[in-house]
Amino acid sequence: MSESLINYQHCPFCYSKAIHPVLAAKDYTVSHRSFEIWHCADCTNRFTQSAPDLMHIGPYYQSAEYISHSDTAKGLINRLYHWVRSYTLGSKRRMIQRVCRQKQGVLLDIGAGTGAFAATMLQAGWKVTGLEPDNIARENARTKYGIELRSAEDIYTLPENAFDVITLWHVLEHVHDLHGYFKQFKALLKPTGKLVIAVPNYTSRDGEVYGQYWAAWDVPRHLYHFSPAGMQKLAELEGFTIQSMYPMWFDAFYVSMLSEQYKNGSSNLPGALLKGLGSNLTTLGDKRRCSSLIYVLSLV
C-alpha cells in the first residue's frame, strides 16, 4: 500500500517528548503488517507509530471482516457480536437517558457505523444526527434502518450549542484530528451537555494477558490506546471533567475470542471465555481494569 505515514516526535495527547516504543502489534484484518506502539511516560496513553495519515488509512478498513462497516454476521464471533449488540443497544439508551436526566433530546452520534445505535435512539424519540466516514457503512445504514448518515467532515459545520449529548462508541481511537474534534465537542454541546466516549483500555486484565496479540490494539486503524489515567489527563487538557465511568462487560469476551484466534490460529472458545471471565472478575475489584470503558464527560 502506497501511503504517507505519521511519525510522532512528541505525544499526540499531551505533547510530551517522554515517549518510547513498548511493543509491535500485527494487523490481522487487512495488511498483516506489524506496527510499533509507543508509550507516553507523562500521560500514560499510547499511540500507533507510523500509522497511515487520513488520506491513506481508507484501505485498512476495506475488509468484509470489519464488522462496524460491513455488519457481517459471518462466523461464530460475529454472530455472537450481533447477539450481544441487540442487548447492549438498550443498555446504552438507558445510560444516555440517565446521565442526561431526560427521556428525549438531541444527540450526535459520531462514527455511527451501520446506524444501529442511531436507529435505537430515533425509536426512543430522540432527534439524532449521525456521522460516518465510510461510504459502505452509510449505505448499509440506509438499507437496513432507512437512516441517512452524514459525512464525518460535517462535524466542522454543525450548529453550535445544539446537542444534549455526543456519543463516540469505539470511535475516538480512530480519529486523526484528535484535538480538533475536542474543540468541536466543546462548541457543539449545550452548556449542560454530556460527551460519552467508549474506548478500549490497554491496562485491562485481558490486555495484559494477551500482550502483542490483544485484539483491541487493532493497528493501524486504532491510532490511540487509552488508559483511565490518560483519559483523565486528556479530558482536563481539553476543558472537560470525567463525571462517571462504566465498564463494558461483554468486550472482554469478544476481545478474548479474537485474541485467541490471533495468538493460536483458532478462537478456542472455552479458553477465551475463561480469560474474558477472569478479566471481568478483576474488574469487580477495580472497574478501571475493564477491557473497554465508557467515560461520561462534562464541560468544566
**133-183 pLDDT per residue, tens:** 999 999 999 999 999 999 999 999 999 999 999 999 999 999 999 999 999
For residue 65, the model assigns a pLDDT of 66
- Please give the Cα distance from 122 to 222 (Å, whole number): 28
Which amino acid, 293?
Answer: L
> What is residue 193's three-state secondary structure?
strand
Q: Is the bond into 270 cis (omega within 30 degrees of 0)?
A: no
For residue 8, the model assigns a pLDDT of 98
For residue 71, the model assigns a pLDDT of 56
Structural domain count, the chain = 1
- Please give the Cα distance from 127 to 144 (Å, whole number): 19
The enclosing domain of 278 has a CATH number of 3.40.50.150
Torsion angle of C-alpha atoms 176, 54, 200, 114, degrees rounded to 10: 120
What does each C-alpha distance from 288 to 158, 182, 247, 283 come to in angstroms? 34, 23, 8, 7
Task: Tell whether the model's pLDDT for residue 12 goes beyond 60.
Answer: yes
- Please give the Cα distance from 231 to 125 (Å, whole number): 31
Q: Which domain holds residue 188?
A: 5-299
- Please give the Cα distance from 63 to 150 (Å, whole number): 22
Helical pair 251-264 and 269-285, crossing angle rounded to 10 deg: 140
- Report the length, in residues, of the chain: 300
Q: Which residue's entry shows cell 475536542?
A: 182
Please, where are the H alpha helices in the chain? Answer: 67-70, 76-100, 116-123, 135-145, 178-188, 205-210, 228-237, 251-264, 269-285
DSSP 8-state code for residue 60: G
Chain center to CA of 96: 17
| pLDDT tens digits for range 186-222 | 999 999 999 999 999 999 999 999 999 999 999 999 9
Cβ atoms < 10 Å from Cβ of 90: 11
For residue 76, the model assigns a pLDDT of 57
Model pTM score: 0.93
Cβ atoms < 10 Å from Cβ of 159: 9
| pLDDT tens digits for range 84-109 | 777 899 999 999 999 999 999 999 99
Measuring CA to CA, which residue among 209, 212, 230 is closest to residue 293?
230
Measuring CA to CA, which residue among 267, 245, 243 is closest to residue 256?
267
